[in-house]
Amino acid sequence: MHFPHFLFLSFLCFLINPLQSQNKNTAWVDMFSYLKVKNIQASGSRVYAQSENAFFIFDTNSGEIERFSSINGLTGDKISGFYYHGDLQKLFVFHKGGLIEVVDNQKNVYRSPELAYNHFIPVDKKELNDIAVNGNLLYLATKYGISVYNLKKNEFGDTFYFLGNNGNLEVKSIAVYNQKIFAATPEGLYYAGINDNLIDTNVWTKIDNTEWRDFAVFNQTLLGIKGKEVYEITSQNQNLILSVNENISKLHGGTYLSLIFSHHIESYNDNFVLLHYYNSVDFPDDQFSDAVYSNDYVYIGTGKHGMLRTPFDRQQYTVIHPDSPLSNHAYAVDARDGILWLAYGDHTAFNPYPLHKEGLSSYQNKTWVNIPYDDFQISDISFVKINPANTSEVYFASPKNGLIRVRQNQIDKIFNQNNSPLQMFGNDGIRVYAMDFDSQHNLWVTQIMQPSLLKLKPDDNWETVDLSNILQMPNQDYHGFSDMKIDADDNIWFGTDKKGLIGYNQKTQDLKFLKSGLQSSAYPLVQTLDIDKDKILWAGNREGLRILPEPQQIFNNVQMEFQPVKVVFNDVVQLLMEGQNITKIRTDGSNNKWITTLGSGVYYFNEDGTQTIYHFTKENSPLPSDDVYDVAIDGSNGMVYFATLKGLIGYKGFATEGSDNMDDVYAFPNPANEKIHDFVTIRGLIEGVNVKIVDVAGNLVYETTAKGGSVQWDLTAFGKYKVASGVYIALITNDDGTKTQTTKILVIK
The band of 606, judged by pLDDT with boundaries at 50, 70 and 90, is very high
Mean pLDDT value across the chain: 91
- Report domain 666-748's class: mainly beta
The pLDDT of residue 152 is above 90: yes
- Give the CATH fold of the 325-466 domain: Methylamine Dehydrogenase; Chain H (2.130.10)
The pLDDT of residue 59 is above 90: yes
Helix (H) or strand (E) holding 117: helix 114-117
The pLDDT of residue 7 is above 60: no
Q: Which pLDDT does position 306 carry in this prediction? A: 97
Q: Which pLDDT does position 498 carry in this prediction? A: 84
The band of 312, judged by pLDDT with boundaries at 50, 70 and 90, is confident
The pLDDT of residue 1 is above 60: no
**Average pLDDT, stretch 303-325?**
94
Closest CA to 41 of 74, 84, 80: 84
Spell out where 332-388 has E strands.
332-336, 339-343, 360-364, 367-371, 383-386
* DSSP codes of every residue in 58-107: EETTT--EEEESGGGT---PPEEEEEEETTTTEEEEEETTS-EEEE-TT-
CA distance 181 to 190: 8
Closest CA to 557 of 610, 605, 629, 503: 503
How confident is the model over 105-145, as pLDDT tens digits? 999 999 999 999 998 899 999 999 999 999 999 999 999 99
Q: Which pLDDT does position 522 carry in this prediction? A: 56
How confident is the model over 215-233, as pLDDT tens digits? 999 999 999 998 899 999 9
Preceding peptide of 669 cis, ω within 30°: yes
Which CATH number, 3.30.950.10, 2.40.128.630, 1.20.950.20, 2.40.50.100, labels domain 38-144?
Answer: 2.40.128.630
The band of 347, judged by pLDDT with boundaries at 50, 70 and 90, is confident
Closest CA to 122 of 101, 96, 146: 96
How confident is the model over 472-527, as pLDDT tens digits? 764 455 678 999 999 999 999 999 988 899 999 999 999 999 999 987 665 688 99
The pLDDT of residue 20 is above 90: no
The band of 351, judged by pLDDT with boundaries at 50, 70 and 90, is confident
Helix (H) or strand (E) holding 116: helix 114-117
The structural domains of the chain, with segments of one domain joined by +, span: 38-144, 325-466, 468-578, 666-748
CA–chain centroid gap for 597, Å, is 14
CA distance 66 to 197: 42
**Average pLDDT, stretch 701-730?**
92
Q: What percent of the chain has pLDDT over 70?
A: 95
How confident is the model over 60-119, as pLDDT tens digits? 999 999 999 999 999 999 999 999 999 999 999 999 999 999 999 999 999 999 999 998
**Average pLDDT, stretch 534-562?**
95
Q: Which pLDDT does position 474 carry in this prediction? A: 47
The pLDDT of residue 625 is above 70: yes
Q: Which pLDDT does position 473 carry in this prediction? A: 63
How confident is the model over 270-279, as pLDDT tens digits? 999 999 999 9
Q: Which residues contact 266 (CB under 8 A, 6 or more apart)?
A: 244, 258, 259, 274, 276, 277
Q: Which pLDDT does position 8 carry in this prediction? A: 33
**Mapping DSSP to helix (H, G, I), strand (E, B) and coil, where does residue 114 land?**
helix
CA distance 566 to 457: 41
**Average pLDDT, stretch 349-362?**
87
Q: What percent of the chain has pLDDT over 90?
A: 76
Q: Which residues contact 585 (CB under 8 A, 6 or more apart)?
A: 528, 529, 530, 538, 539, 540, 545, 593, 594, 595
Q: Which pLDDT does position 142 carry in this prediction? A: 94
The pLDDT of residue 463 is above 50: yes
CA distance 59 to 42: 10
The pLDDT of residue 11 is above 70: no
The pLDDT of residue 202 is above 90: no
